[in-house]
Structure 1
Amino acid sequence: MSVEQKTAREPCCSKLKMFLASMCFVFFAKAFQGSYMKSSITQIERRFDIPSSLIGLIDGSFEIGNLFVIAFVSYFGAQLHRPRLIGAGCLLMAIGSFITAAPHLFQGPYKYETTITHMSASNGTESILPCLTNRSLSQDNEIHTMEVQAECEKATGSSMWLYVFLGNMLRGVGETPVMPLGLSYLDDFSKQENTAFYLALIQTVGIMGPMFGFMLGSFCAKLYVDIGAVDLDILTINHKDSRWVGAWWLGFLITGGVMLLAGIPFWFLPKSLTKQGETETEKKLNVLEGEQDRFIPDNNKHCTPPNNPAPVPMAALAKDFLPSLKKLFSNQIYLLLLGTAFVQVNGFIGMITFKPKFMEQTYGQSPSRAIFLIGIMNLPAVAFGIITGGFIMKKFKLNVIGAARICISASIIAFISLIIQYFLQCDNSQVAGLTVSYQGAPEVSYQKNTLLSQCNIGCSCSLKHWDPICASNGVTYVSPCLAGCQTSTGVGKEMVFHNCTCIGESSFPYANMSAVLGQCPRKNDCDYMFKFYMGVSVIGAFLSACGATPSYIILLRSIKPELKSFALGMHTLVVRTLGGIPPTIYFGALIDRTCLKWGTKQCGGKGACRIYETGAFRNAFLGLIYGLYSLSYLLWGIMYNRLSRREKKLALKDQLKASEQECSAVSNGNMNAPSAIVKCNENPDQETTI
C-alpha cells in the first residue's frame, strides 16, 4: 500500500514537473530581458543620438543572432542533450545583456543639447539675456566650439552603439534553443491532452516577464543616466523632456543576473524522461525490451525503446538535413502557418517597439509613464488572454479546426479595436514655428526658416538646438532665444524667462511675457482621450492573446512527430528573421519621415528626433499595422480552407479503416455483427461512389 501511495505522489515532484517549472522561469527571464530592451529603445536612441531607423536595426539584431544558428540548433539539438543546450543558451543571454550595458562604462558623462549653458544665473538674480547680439553670439560660439571639440577628442566615438548591437545579437544566439527544444521536450514526455495546458502555463508565466521588464524600464527611465556622478540640481531637464536619458544600463545588469539564475536548473535535468502516465512497471518492461533488442542481430537491431535512444552520428543527421527540410516545406499547412505568423509578427513587433513613442507623441505621455502603463495594463491582459485560450482548448477538447476558429475570431475582433484607436486622437502640440505660427495660425513645416519671425530675427538664434520653454499662453517655443526672451531668473529646473517678445506677438490669450523650462502639457481633453485609448488597447491585447495557444497547437498537430522540433525551429527562424528584423527598420524609417525637429549631436550632425507631427505619425504607424493584419487574415482564410479539407479526408480514411476492420471480423466468422455484414455487402458500391 505504501508503495502504491509513493507511486501516486511521485508525479507531483517528477522531473517533468521540474522541467516545466524551469521552462516557466526561463520564459519569464527571457521575456523580462527582451521587454526591458523594448522599453529602453527611446533611452538608447537619445543616448547615442541615432534615428529611429537605426534603433530599429539595433533592436532587430536579436533576430539576426537567431538567424545564424536556429536551423542547426533545432535540427541537431533534438538529438543531443536538450536541457543542457538550453542552459548554455541562458548563459549566452546573460553575457549578451552585460555586453549591452558596457558602453556606459566607456562613455563620458551625457551632455544634452542646450543653449542655456551660455547664460549665468545664481541665487535667483537676473542674468544675461538669452536673446544675444551678433557679436556676443559669435564669441560664445567660438568658446563653445572649442569646448565641444575638446569633449569630442575625449569621447570614445559615436559608434559605441555597436556594443548594444552585438550584445543584443548574442542574446538572440543564446535564446535559440529555448523554445524549439524546450517545447518539443515537453511535448514528447507529457500526455497529449496536457500539452495545451502546459504551453498556456509557460506562456502565462512568461508574460509576467514583460510586466516586470516594462516596470523596470519605467523605473530606470526616471533615473538620470549618470546618477551618482553628477549634481542633479544643476540639470535644466526632467524625465518628461525629450532630451532626458534614463539609467538604461542599470536594467541590463539586473536582467542579465536573472537570466544567469534561470539557466542553472537545466544543467541537472536528464536527456530523456519517462512518458507522463507511464508506470514504473511499464518503464522496467521497456528497459528489458531494450536489453533483449541487443541480442536481435539484423533486421530489428535499430529498434530501441523511447527511453533508451541509440546515439545517432552527426554525419547521419547532416545527411538527413536537406531531405527533412524538403519534407517539412512540402507541407502546405505548415507553409501557410509560416506566412500567417510572419505577417502578424511584422505588425506586432512594429507596434510594440514604437508604441511608447506613439503614446508620448500622440497623447503627451512621458516615456516612463507610457512604459509603466503598458507593463501594468496591457501585459496582464495578454497573460489572461493566453491562459483563457489554453483553458478553452482543454475544457472543450477542441481539435485543429476548433483551434483555427478561435485564432481567426480572436484576431478579427482585436483588429476592430485597432481601428477604433485611429479615431482616438489629440491635436498637435502647439510649438511656435513648427505646428503653429508665431501669430497662432495652424502650420506644419519641415523648414528651418519658419522658426524665425519678426520678434526674434534680431536675436541671432541657433536654429539647430532644441531647448523648449513653455510660455504663459500655452505655446511651446523651441528655445528661449527664439521666444525673444530678454532676461532669466533662477537656476536649474527652476529657471524662469522674462520679457519674451514673441509671446506678445501671439494671438493666444496670455497673462504675462514669461516662460518656464520644458514643453507645454497637452490640453485636458487629451488626457480624457488617452483613457479611452488605453481601455480599447487593453481589450484588444486580451482578445489577440486568446489565439496564441491555439496557434501553437495547430503547428504541433500539423507536422509529423519526428519533425516536430525541427519544424518549431524553422518556424522560429522564419518568424524571427522575416518578422522580427525588417519591421523595426521600416517602421522606424517611416516614422522618421514625420519628424518636425531633429536634435543636434554634441560633435555636430543630426541626432535623435525631438518632436513629430502627430497626424502623420498616427497615419504611418497605424496604417502599416492595418495593412499587415489585413493580409494575415487573408492567409488565415486560405489556411482554414485547407485544414477543413484535410480533416474531412482524415475522417473519411478513419471510416474506411473501421469498415475494413468490421469486414475482417465477418470474414473470420464473427456472425454477431449483422450490420457489419450489410456494410461489407454494400462496400463495393460505396468505394465506387467515393
Structure 2
Amino acid sequence: MASGQVNLGYDRQDSQMQLTQSEMKMASESGHGSVTSAPITERMDSMEKKEYDEVFLPSKRDPESCGWCALRPRCFQKLNNPIMFMIFLCAFAMAQSATISGLVLVNITTLERRFNLPSTRTGTISSCFDFVVMAVIVFVTYGGEKGNKPVFIGTGAAIFGLGSFLFTLPHFLSGLYQYGGNVEDNFCGLNRTADLSCDGSDDSTVESLSQYFWVFVAAQVLHGLGAAPLYALGQTFLYENIKPESSSLYIGVFQAAATFSPAIGFLGGGILLDNMYTDLSVEEYGIDNTSPLWVGNWWLGFLIIGVISLLTSLPLIAYPKYLRGAKRFKHQRKPSTQKGSEFVPSAGFGGSLKDFPRAILTLLKNMPFLLINLAVGSESFIIACVSVFGPKYVESQFNVTSGEAAILLGVLVIPTGLFGCLFGGWVIKRFNLEFKGQIRFCLIVLLTSLFLTFAFLLTCPTIKFAGVTTNHDDGGPRKGPSDINALCNADCACLDDYDPVCGSDDVLYYSPCHAGCTQHNGTGAEGKRVYSNCLCIITSQNTTNDDVISYGSATQGQCEDNSCIYKPMFFVIIAFVLALSFSITVPTITAVLQVVAPSQRSTAMGLQSLLYRGLGTVPGPIVFGALIDKSCILWETECDGSRTCWIYRNIDFAFYTFGIVVVCRILSLVFFSGSYLTYKPVEEVEVAKEVKDKP
C-alpha cells in the first residue's frame, strides 16, 4: 500500500514536470527564458517531492513527528500534543483499572460458582496480576528509561487487550451453565434418606470445569505484562513533556481516570451480574438474581475491555520518544534531587544491565524516596483490602445483594475518586508546592481522614438467621455455636446446599428444607419461589390443644431489612474518607519524581510499583481475609475441604476493618513524617555548607 502511494505521488509529479518542460520549449522558441528552464524545473521537482514527503514519509530531521513506521500523515500531527496523548493514556488506564480492580473482583464469587473453583484458586487468579507486574516492572521501566515510552505503553495495551479476550474464552468453551439440583430436592421430604456422602460421582464434571482455572491464570499473566509499563512510564512521560507548573495537573487527571475506573468496573459488572444471565436467556431455568444459584453475565465486560485496549494501542504506539518542548521544560525545572542520590548513567546505560544493581541501590539509599514508598505501601494495603472485601462488607452490614453492593460502591467511588485526584493535582499547581509542601499536604489530609475512620464503628445488627443468630424454638438470640438442624426439620433429610429462604416470621433459613417446608407453591412476586406448610415456622398455636398448629410460609432469597439507621451516615462519612485518601495520590507521585535523579525517574516509578504491590496490594487481601474469617459464624464445607462463609457477625467484621485502617494510616503518617525530616535537596545542602565555611 505504501509502495502504491509512492508511485502515485511521483507519477503526478512527473506529468507536471513534463508539462513545465513543454512550456519552457515554447518560451525558448519565442526567445524567452531558455536559460532558466532547468532551474525552474528542478525547483518545482524539489517542491513537489518535499510536499509529498511531509504528507506521507517519516521526517529524518524531525524525530518528534507522530506515526507508524513510514506512515506519518500530516493530519495525524494534530494529535501530537500532550493533551491528546493524555486522553489515549487515560483510555488505556481506565480499561486496565476497570478490569483488574473492578471486573475481576466483582466477578470472583460468580467464577467460583460457575467453574467450581475454591476461594484459594480465585484468590490466585486475582493475585496473579500483581505477581506478574512485580516480576517484570523494574526491568520494563529500566529498559523504558532510555527507550520510546509510548511504544512500550502501546504494546502493553495490545497485550492487555489479548488478555481480556482470553479471559472470556472459558465461557465459550464450557457450554451452558447447569446449576446443581432442582426445586424438589431442596424442600422437606419426610421419611426421605439424604445422600450426604462425598462419593465423587460428580468429580468428572467438576474437574473438567475447574481446568479453566489455568486459562484465567494465563489471561491474568497477559494482563500483568500489558499493564506493567502503563503507570511508571506513562506518568514519567507526562512529567517530562509538560511545563513544570502544569505537570501535576496532568498527572492528577490521569490518576483521576485510573482511580474512578474501578468504580466503573464495579458498577458495570454489578449491572451485568444482576440483570443479565450468563447464557443470556434464563426463562427455562426458573431462577432469578436473588438465588444463590444465579450466575450473572461475567464475561461481556471483558470482551468490551479487550476491544477498547486494542483500539487504544494504535495511537499510543505512534507517539515519538519526546514531545515538542521536552528539552526546554527539562531546563526549566528547579533541581530538587536528594543530596547523595545524583545518578549519571555510564555509556550504553539504557542498553545494558551492568549498571542495574547500582541504579537500584542508589534509589534504596535515598531515604525520602524509600519512606514515601513505605507510606504508599501502607495506603495500598488499605486500598487493596477495601477493594477486595468492600462489597462483602457492604453486603453483610446492610443486607444487600452482591450486585447492589457493587453498584453502591461504584456510585460512591466515582465522584470521590475523581474529585480527590483532581483536587490533589490542583493544590500542587495552585500553590506551586515543592517536595516539602507536598508532604505537608499529605500529612494534613491523612490526619484528618484518621479521625473520620470511626465510621466503621457504625455497625448494623446481624440478620436473624435460624440456628445461627436466632434460636429455632423460641426465636430468641442464640448464644451457642451455630446449628441449622433442629427437631422441626430432623425428619426432612436435608441436603447441605445453601439456598436461603425468608420465612413469614422474618427469619432467614438455610434452605426450604431446613425451614421444614413440605410444599412448593410455584412462584410469587418478582418470580421468587414460594413454599408453604413450613414446620419450623409456627404462626399460631392453640393453647388448649397443642395438636392444632398453623405453619407459616417461606419465600426464596434474603429477608429485606431496612432497620439500620446508620446506613446514610456511614456512606456520607466514607465518601469524605475516600476523597481525602484519593487526594494524596498525585502529591506522592510528583514528590517521588522530584526527589530522584532525572535519569532515574522511570526506574523509580517502577520500583515504587514493586514496593507498594509487595507491601500492600499482594499481602493486604491475604491478611485481611484471614482476619475477617474469624468473624464468620456460618460456614459451608465442600467435599474437597474448601469452605464458603455465608454469614458474618457484623460487629466483629467492623472492628477488624477499623483496626486495619487505623494501624495502616498511623504507619503512613510516621513514614511521611520521616520523609519530610530526612529530605535535604542538593541546593539546600550546598547553601548550608557555604554558611558554615564563612569566617
The TM-score bracket by the shorter chain reads 0.7 to 0.9
The answer as to 2:298 corresponding to 1:264 is no
Quick check: 1:183 aligned with 2:249?
no
**What's 2:388 paired with?**
353
2:537 alignment partner, one of 489, 503, 520: 503
Aligned residue in 2 for 1:328:
363
Give the alignment partner of residue 20 of structure 1, picking from 70, 86, 90: 86
When structure 1 is superposed on structure 2, of 631-640 and 41-50 the one drifting more is 41-50
Q: Deviations over 1:276-326 (max 9, x none)?
A: 5959xx9xxxxxxxxxxxxxxxxxxxxxxxxxxx99647863111111111
The 5 Å alignment of 1:89-238 reads: 89-113=156-180, 116-118=183-185, 130-134=187-191, 136-138=192-194, 141=195, 149=201, 152-153=204-205, 156-228=208-280, 230-231=282-283, 234-235=286-287, 238=288
Q: What displacement does 1:220 show?
A: 1.2
Q: Summarize the alignment of residues 456-467 of structure 1 with structure 2, pairs less than 5 Å apart.
A: 456-462=489-495, 464-467=496-499
Q: Secondary structure at the match of 1:263?
A: helix
Greater RCO structure (CA 8 Å; 6+ sep):
1
Aligned-partner SS, 2:634: strand
Contact 1:70/1:573 (8 A) holds in 2: yes
User: Which residue of 583, 600, 617 maps to 2:653?
Assistant: 617
Query: Which of 398, 401, 409 is the aligned partner of 1:363?
Result: 398
Q: Distance in 1 between matches of 2:480 and 2:79?
A: 66
2:445 aligned to 410, 416, 420, which one?
410
Alignment correspondent of 2:467: 433
Structure 1 equivalent of residue 507 of structure 2: 475
| Post-superposition offset of 1:656 | 6.7
Q: Which runs of 5+ in 1 are unaligned?
A: 1-9, 120-129, 283-309, 658-682
Contact 2:456 2:657 in 1 (8 A): no
**Structure 2: gaps spanning 5 or more residues:** 1-75, 332-344, 542-548
8 A contact 1:103–1:163 mirrored in 2: yes
Give the 3 Å change call, closer, same or farther, for CA 101–622 of structure 1 in structure 2: farther
Q: Percent sequence identity over matched residues? A: 28
1:75: how far off? 0.6
Which deviates more, 151-160 or 262-271?
A: 151-160
CA distance in structure 1 between the aligned counterparts of 2:622 and 2:215, rounded to whole angstroms: 19
Q: After superposition, where does 1:623-638 map in structure 2 within 5 Å?
A: 623-638=659-674
Q: Give the TM-score taking structure 1 as reference length.
A: 0.79
Going from structure 1 to structure 2, the CA distance change for 1:535 and 1:512 (only over 3 Å counts) comes to: farther
Q: 1:296 maps to which residue? A: none
Larger relative helix fraction: 1
Shift of 1:268: 1.1
SS at match of 2:494: coil
Aligned to 2:618: 581
- Match status 1:62 vs 2:129: yes
Other-structure match for 1:31: 97
Q: Given the two structures, how large is their TM-score scaled by the length of structure 2?
A: 0.79
CA distance in structure 1 between the partners assigned to 2:643 and 2:115 by the alignment:
8
Inter-partner Cα distance in structure 1 for 2:647 and 2:540: 21
Is the CA contact 2:364–2:370 (under 8 Å) kept in the aligned structure 1?
yes
Which residue of the partner structure matches residue 679 of structure 1? none
- Which segment drifts farther, 412-421 or 220-229? 220-229
Secondary structure class of the residue paired with 1:273: coil
Deviation at 1:634, TM superposition (A): 1.9
- Cα RMSD of the aligned pairs, angstroms, is 3.1
1:520 to 539, 542, 559: 559
Q: Secondary structure of 1:503's match?
A: strand
The separation in 1 between residues aligned to 2:614 and 2:175, in whole angstroms, is 35
Per-residue deviation, 1:688: 5.9
Q: Classify the secondary structure of the residue corresponding to 1:435.
A: coil
Q: Distance in 1 between matches of 2:293 and 2:663?
A: 33
**AA matched with 1:266:** L
Does structure 2 conserve the Cα–Cα contact (< 8 Å) formed by 1:53 and 1:586?
no
CA apart distance, 1:267? 1.7
Change beyond 3 A, Cα 1:426–1:315: closer
Query: Is residue 590 of structure 2 the alignment partner of residue 553 of structure 1?
Result: yes
Tell me if the contact between 1:51 and 1:592 (Cα under 8 Å) persists in the aligned partners. Answer: no
How far residue 152 of structure 1 moved from its aligned partner, in angstroms, is 3.8
User: Per the alignment, do residues 490 and 145 of structure 1 end up closer, same or farther by CA in structure 2, a change over 3 Å counting?
Assistant: farther
CA apart distance, 1:232: 5.0
Q: Does the CA contact (< 8 Å) of 1:39 and 1:217 recur in 2?
A: yes
Matches within 5 A, 1:289-438: 313=348, 317-422=352-457, 424-438=458-472
AA aligned to 2:693 is E
* Residue 250, structure 1, aligned to residue 300, structure 2: yes
Structure-2 change in CA distance of 1:80 and 1:494 (3 Å)? closer
> Does the CA contact (< 8 Å) of 1:406 and 1:546 recur in 2?
no
Q: Distance between the aligned counterparts of 1:231 and 1:106, measured in 2?
A: 22
- Native 8 Å contact 1:73 1:176 kept in 2: yes
Counterparts in 2 of 1:11 and 1:639: CA distance versus 1, 3 Å: farther
Is the 2:503–2:554 contact (alpha carbons within 8 Å) kept by the matching residues of 1?
Answer: yes
Distance 2:657 2:180 in 1: 28
CA contact (8 A) 2:368 2:674 kept: no
Aligned residues: 595
Q: Shift in Å at residue 435 of structure 1?
A: 1.4
